[in-house]
């Protein structure tokens, strides 16, 4: 599977695949500030889809490492096994629409050791599935438990020092909306602004008004303008508020064919929630890096 899959292609896989090859569908609907996505899932979800909670299953509790620290391998493994994931499973994650939250699940699955061709995000999410007239259900999903073993290290991760170094010597992309990058507003973290030297690359700008991702060549042009090179060039990493939205930039570089699956851009997992909580870390404001 490519990193993005259409509703029609997913429906075909769910209908025609053998039970062993049928994709596991993870519903990770979530919104900053709530309400939780569980209620949406309980009202209607893709047949067989299993809900995973970003705050409690796809992240450790908030603390010095950030608002959504990477989950311990055991926490993630327990969640994935409950969802029916095996080491050789195909897995498709979806959120409400634009794929930004689903990209966090995609990234974690890759970090956990699942191969690139076995993990995807549903392009357009739940909204696109419904718009295509495909079936939904309120029937609870009860998959047979999986036996996946989480082997962390499949995706590169940076800490604050690594992010600072890359902002000086490479390309550090800030996936947040421009007003948060400029420091005009900060709804959740201790300080407003951005990491000095970081370039603003809002993940929302890579998605069209219908919630589907822009064409690979368009995404490639936008990322290339920020210094993301297909071959050679500077090292690249991404961050956001808490390490969720930035995963979409990692996916975007692969979707745009600027980076092959075996050479993904890095993720500063603690992101701004980690950086801004340290009073010793400098903060820049305004539109300039």
> Choosing from 65, 108, 172, 240, which is the catalytic residue?
240
Which residues does 1 contact at the CB level (< 8 Å), separation at least 6?
23, 90, 92, 117, 118, 119, 120
Q: Does the annotation count 273 as an active-site position?
A: no
> What DSSP line would sit under the chain, residue for residue?
--SEE-HHHHHHHHHHS-TTTSPEEEE----TT---THHHHHH-B-TT-EE--TTTTSSPPPBTTBSSPPPPHHHHHHHHHHTT--TT--EEEE-SSSSHHHHHHHHHHHHTT--GGGEEEETTHHHHHHHTT---B-SPP-PPP--------SS-EE-HHHHHHHHHHSEEEE-S-HHHHHTS--SSSSS-SB-TT-EE--GGGGB-TTSPBPPHHHHHHHHHTTT--SSSS--EEEE-SSSSTHHHHHHHHHHTTSS-TTSPPEEESSHHHHHTT-TTS--B-SS--
- What span, in angstroms and rounded, lies between the C-alpha atoms of 175 and 240? 5
Active site residues: 240
């Amino acid at each position: 599977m490519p990193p993005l899959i259409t509703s029609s292609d997913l429906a075909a896989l769910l209908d025609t695949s053998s039970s062993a090859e049928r994709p596991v569908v993870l519903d990770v609907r979530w919104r900053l500030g709530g309400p939780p996505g569980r209620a949406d899932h309980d009202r209607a979800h893709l047949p067989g889809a299993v809900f995973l909670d970003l705050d409690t299953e796809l992240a450790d509790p908030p603390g010095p490492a950030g608002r959504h620290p990477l989950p311990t391998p055991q926490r993630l493994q327990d969640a994935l096994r409950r969802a029916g994931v095996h080491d050789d499973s195909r897995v498709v994650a979806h959120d409400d629409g634009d794929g930004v939250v689903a990209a966090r699940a995609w990234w974690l699955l890759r970090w956990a050791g699942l191969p690139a061709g076995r993990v995807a995000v549903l392009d357009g999410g739940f909204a696109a599935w419904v718009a295509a007239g495909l079936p939904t259900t309120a029937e609870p999903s009860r998959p047979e438990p999986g036996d996946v073993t989480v082997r962390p290290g499949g995706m590169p991760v940076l800490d604050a020092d690594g992010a600072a170094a890359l902002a000086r010597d490479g390309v550090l992309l800030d996936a947040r909306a421009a007003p948060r990058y400029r420091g005009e507003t900060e709804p959740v973290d201790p300080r407003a602004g951005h990491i000095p030297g970081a370039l603003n690359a809002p993940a929302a700008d890579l998605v069209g008004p219908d919630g589907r991702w822009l064409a690979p060549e368009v995404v490639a042009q936008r990322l290339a303008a920020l210094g993301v090179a297909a071959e050679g060039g500077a090292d690249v990493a991404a961050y956001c508020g808490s390490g969720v939205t930035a995963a979409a930039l990692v996916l975007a570089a692969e979707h745009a064919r600027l980076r092959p699956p075996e050479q993904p851009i890095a993720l500063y997992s603690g992101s701004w929630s980690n950086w801004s909580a340290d009073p010793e870390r400098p903060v820049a404001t305004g539109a300039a890096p």
